[in-house]
Every structure is written in structure tokens, then in C-alpha cells.
Structure 1
Amino acid sequence: MNLAGAASRLGPGDGGARSPRTDAIARFRYDMVFLAPPWPDIYEVNEDRPHSLEKALRDYERVQSAYLQAGYDPVVLPRETVPARADFILTKIPLIAFDLEQSPPNRPS
């Protein structure tokens, strides 16, 4: 789970106002965020996913809201196969080439 997902589990927001959890999400920024909404046609409850579709939809809305409150413009993944989703993500992210034997380039804070 990512920071927005963890922060959104702390409870309902306060009507869109900034809170310590959304401030934390805003402080530890990602360049881009992707969301995979629950897909009713293929959703199933199992050992790895014990909650209902309704709960998954509520959780998704809470995570999406946390990202929006933090100033992100989340990119929603299409309802496609896993390879198609991976290709979609690769078309969206900037690829940075660097020598794998060296440390990755520093990101501005």
C-alpha cells in the first residue's frame, strides 16, 4: 500500500479541508500516480481479496479523494489485460536512462 492508501484508511476526511494526512501525501510527492479502480466484471472475493466489491469501491473513492486533495491528477488505468495496462503505464511515464551500476539520479526534494 502506498502513502495515500495508508493515509486514507485513517478515517473520513473533513469535507475537503487540508488535514495532517493530506499534508503528508502532499509532502512526499510522486511524479505521477496511477489508480486501478475495482472492476465489477472480474471482481471476486477470495483469500487475497476478502472484502466485498462495495467496500473496494468505497476504498478506491477514499484513496482517489486523498490524491485529489493533495493536488495530484491521478491517471486511471484502463480496464484491459495486464499486458495492456503495463503498456499504458509505459506510455505515460518518462523513462530515464542511467547506468545500473551507478546509483540512480538524484531527485529534487
Structure 2
Amino acid sequence: MIHLTERAARHVYDFLQNRGKGEGIKVGVKTSGCSGLAYVLEFVDQVDPHDTAFEAFGVKVFVDPKSLVYLNGLEMDYVKNGLNEGFEFNNPNQKGECGCGESFTV
């Protein structure tokens, strides 16, 4: 299960509305950084039938089968801290992260 907070869902919804198209967002992982894995976000214009779909506050989130193993239980929030803003990932599968916070291990 992937969960978006209401604030994160509103942010994604607004972006989709500004784009004028899109079925939702896709969350995945890729090999990257010094700890091994990094989160990847992209818009979904055409749904892949192999992806698992979740919905939160009217926004669809898609996850490919390989990434779901690492992301099951993930909660995504959208936070603003001073001049910085972006998605924050709370992943119960994460065991550690690199010093800069760009990659994580499971």
C-alpha cells in the first residue's frame, strides 16, 4: 500500500491540472547514490497494466512490481521548510540513508 497525505495529494492534483493531462503519478526506485536506492517520481499519461494502482484523496499513485517490494507501506507527504519544499518519504522498509539524504538502503 502507498499512501499520500492530503497535502501531497493536493500538490499532485494541482500539477496534473496545470499539465492538462495525466492519470496520476508513478513512484519507483532506481539504483543510485552511495546507499543504493533512490526514489523516482514521474507523471503517468498511459497506465501500464503491470503496475499496481493506489488512490488517495482522488489522486492515483502507480507502482511497478519491482519497486513495490521496496515501497510497500510508503507514506508520501509534501512539506515546505523555509525556502525548501518537496516530497518527504516515510518508508517503513528503509533501514538507512546516505549522509546527504539522496539515497537509502532497505
Q: TM-score, normalised by structure 1?
A: 0.26
Higher strand share: 2
Q: TM-score, normalised by structure 2?
A: 0.26
Q: Which has the larger radius of gyration?
A: 1
